[in-house]
Amino acid sequence: MAVAVLAALTLAAPARAESDKVAADKAVSSQDGKFFDANGEPTYKIGPDGKVDWYTYSGFQRYSAECLRCHGPDGMGSSYAPALANSLKTLSYGDFLSTVANGRKNLEGGQEKVMPTLGLDKNVMCFIDDIYIYLKARSDDALGRGRPPGKEPKSKAWEEGVNACMGPPS
């Protein structure tokens, strides 16, 4: 199921559009309010006023709800788990997806650290691109700490994708 969720979330990137470049980030194309870098990986778009695209804002919300308790506020880490804002400076998109879905164990300084397997957790996997986008913006120092100052509205495609992934409301 985790593979199916990842496949559904990782849509092929649309054709590149040079006119969509923005300062301080890597967005070169977009589709239905979602931005992609030159490698076709999801990325953020932040306006000169600090307003973020919906996926970045949603990522902030989901990170705060699902990841903060271990990885600390704003991806800055804790004594329990690493700073993801630093990890994404070198961790690829594919490795991020794999680590979240499959988990990881590290023995560091004589202390075992365990990232749980979250591949079946819809509260994480249905928003995995959003979380990645938010953390990438933090990693690139394009987005400061705390709640983003403004956001673009969510697109119908985002809502439809979330509803398809999460299933009908109970």
The answer, as to whether pTM is greater than 0.75, is: yes
Please return the burial class of 77, using the count of CB atoms within 10 Å of its CB with bins 0-12, 13-18 and 19+: middle
- Provide the residue-wise pLDDT of the chain in tens; the chain has 170 residues: 444 444 444 433 333 333 333 334 488 998 999 999 999 999 999 999 999 999 999 999 999 999 988 898 988 888 778 888 989 999 999 999 999 999 988 766 667 778 889 989 999 999 999 999 999 999 999 998 999 999 999 999 999 999 999 987 66
Q: Which residue ranges form the domains of the chain, and what is each CATH number? A: 2-153 (1.10.760.10)
Q: For residues 36 and 89, give the distance between their C-alpha atoms in angstroms, rounded to a whole number.
A: 17
